[in-house]
Amino acid sequence: MSENPEADGGVAPLLDPDEPPPVTVRAAGGASPFLLTCDHASRRVPRRLGDLGVADADRARHIGWDIGALVVAETVSDRLDATLYAAGYSRLVLDLNRPEGAPDRMPTVSDGTRVPANEGLGATDRAARIQALFEPYHGAIAADLDRRLAARRPTFLACIHSFTPRMRGFDRPWHVGACHGPDPRMALLLAQALRREPGLVVGVNEPYSVGRDSDYGMPVHGENRGIPSVLIEIRQDLITAPADARAWGERLARCLAAIEPDLLQPGATP
């Protein structure tokens, strides 16, 4: 980036014209009421930021992206004809599921690994990342939700993530978690459907819960609009291989399809 990116009254662009876009859309205009997001779909870093000072092996770990989540999300999208919005760049550059003020929005340390390029970031550099990555991604989701609202289309938001098998010395027993904020309905329905699948250990608000201090997508796109929503967490060791991730996508598609009739009845509870 230039030494004086504000010389022309704006922020210097972070992405070169030949780089991949900050958001990709699958099944645009899909018929399903489910709208899918994958905030941590990629470990790519913009060319101008080099490698962030982080080794490739570390960027390939969970700190760089949600391993397996994109393949799961794409499979669900294909099976349900559900529109999917997937992020194009690594969470180490900018975590798209973090609100303004969250300390790990542009982390200087992630799970014990330093991110030198994020140390001492000034306002201009932070603004360039927000303008290039955050605004296009969340703007595209918001615009789609606006169109659906105008068309009076039923819409249910499913945010697809993955989590590590072990964190801070604790082995996480759950295979999958259905996480929610103030409105638990969609999460409880999905957890109920997942528990009908053989052999699954299903958590509700495990390994995480959803809150406005720690999350952006569900609170803003779901709760603020009164849209039933769920944040889905699948354990990474179960979806590291593409074939396993596709199998989980098939399972998740089955379970979402199973709860659709209940979601279409506003008064129904699990």
Enumerate domains of the chain plus CATH numbers. 23-263 (3.40.630.40)
Report the alpha-carbon distance of residue 241 to residue 245 in Å, rounded: 6
Q: How confident is the model at residue 167 (pLDDT cuts 50, 70, 90)?
A: confident
Distance of CA 99 to the CA centre of its chain: 13
Report the alpha-carbon distance of residue 262 to residue 5 in Å, rounded: 51
Evaluate if residue 11 carries a pLDDT over 80. no
The pLDDT of residue 1: 31
The pLDDT of residue 206: 96
More confident residue, 128 or 12: 128
> How large is the average pLDDT for residues 192-198?
97
**Least confident among 9-18, 61-70, 106-115, 207-216:** 9-18
Report the alpha-carbon distance of residue 91 to residue 64 in Å, rounded: 6
For the chain, what is the mean pLDDT? 94
Specify whether the CB–CB gap between 161 and 66 falls below 8 A. yes
To 10 degrees, the CA torsion angle through 179, 183, 188, 191?
-20
DSSP-assigned states of every residue in 211-235: -TTT-SHIIIIIGGGT--EEEEEEE
> How large is the average pLDDT for residues 3-22?
72
Specify whether the CB–CB gap between 165 and 240 falls below 8 A. no
**Alpha-carbon separation of residue 172 from 141, 169, 207 (angstroms):** 31, 9, 8
**For 85-144, what is each residue's pLDDT tens digit?**
999 999 999 999 999 999 999 999 999 999 999 999 999 999 999 999 999 999 999 999
Specify whether the CB–CB gap between 12 and 128 falls below 8 A. yes
> How large is the average pLDDT for residues 252-262?
98
Answer left, alpha or beta for residue 21, where phi above 0 means left and psi between -120 and 50 means alpha: beta
**For 47-98, what is each residue's pLDDT tens digit?**
999 999 999 999 999 999 999 999 999 999 999 999 999 999 999 999 999 9
Evaluate if residue 176 carries a pLDDT over 60. yes
168, two tokens: 């801070």
